[in-house]
Structure 1
Amino acid sequence: MKADIKNLEDITLFVDKFYGKVQYDALIGPVFAGAIQDWAPHLEQLYRFWNAALFGVPGFRGNPFAKHAPLAIEEKHFERWLILFSETIDEDFEGEIAKEAKNRAGLMAEMFLRRLRGMNGDPTKVIV
């Protein structure tokens, strides 16, 4: 039986594994490669994000949507991102927090996609 996600060490494990997969994925890897030159700061930000999202630990600051909005991403990219995310969580974890991580990832993808559609390709729209 797998353990649930319980701390920052577990978050670091799944974030590192997940983004390792993302970097080599044929569909979404090139999107990230074009946007991220140094992965270390990005990963540190993601550890803080998921620690805040799953455990309410302060420390995350940022606007994830604003960072993703300029990228050439569509529904197929979000679908692949979610498949990889769920696979990664399921490889090492099970339990309520693991389910919550997958749920939050799904909600985030849905919200990003809805907001991107609302922009209708208009680069002059303000992103807040």
Structure 2
Amino acid sequence: MDIKGKDEIKLLVNDFYTKVRQDDLLGPVFADVVHDDWQPHLDKMYDFWNAALFGVPGFRGNPFARHAPLPITPKHFERWLELFNSTVDQHFEGPVATEAKSRALLMATVFQSKLSRMKDAFKVIV
């Protein structure tokens, strides 16, 4: 079964973030920001993936700005992608599932590139 709409997105996001919370590398990073109030973050992720995969309006925010101050490294992105892709593969197959994994990879690549440039710029300033 492929990802067809918001119901499947909720399944994906809920299962993925359950794994994130339990992960030794990613869990502490999210716990420091989200604390124990996960529902607002999950709701935002439902809207984000619904917009990213189906063009449905409703997502507002700047994901990079929210993640830039976090203590994340390439290892965090690698683990995030690993968990995301395995969660997609566990539940779905088809063109939209493949697109979700492609968009996750693109997002991780762009975020890492921007973070690297920010760190390099900071080194020049200091």
Normalised TM-score (structure 2): 0.94
Moved over 6 A (4+): none
The answer to whether the aligner puts 1:106 opposite 2:125 as a matched pair is no
Deviation sequence 1:38-65 (CA, Å, 0-9, x none): 1000000000000000000000000000
How far apart, CA to CA, are the structure 1 residues paired with 2:8 and 2:83?
17
**How far does residue 120 in structure 1 lie from its aligned partner after superposition?**
1.0
Aligned residue type for 1:36 = V
How far apart, CA to CA, are the structure 1 residues paired with 2:119 and 2:52?
29
Moved more, 104-113 or 31-40: 31-40
- Decide which structure has greater helix share: 2
Q: 2:34 aligned to 4, 17, 36, which one?
A: 36
What pairs with 1:77-116 in structure 2 (closer than 5 Å)?
77-116=76-115
- What residue number does 1:15 align with? 13
Normalised TM-score (structure 1): 0.92
How far apart, CA to CA, are the structure 2 residues paired with 1:60 and 1:112?
18
3-state SS in 2 of match to 1:26: coil
Deviation sequence 1:89-117 (CA, Å, 0-9, x none): 00010000000000000000000000000
3-state SS in 1 of match to 2:72: coil
How far apart, CA to CA, are the structure 2 residues paired with 1:35 and 1:73?
13
Aligned residue type for 1:94 = E
How far apart, CA to CA, are the structure 1 residues paired with 2:5 and 2:68?
30
- What residue number does 1:63 align with? 62
Task: Give the unaligned 5+ runs of structure 2.
Answer: none
- What residue number does 2:71 align with? 72
**How far does residue 23 in structure 1 lie from its aligned partner after superposition?**
0.4
Question: CA RMSD of the aligned region, Å?
Answer: 1.4
Task: Count the aligned residue pairs.
Answer: 122
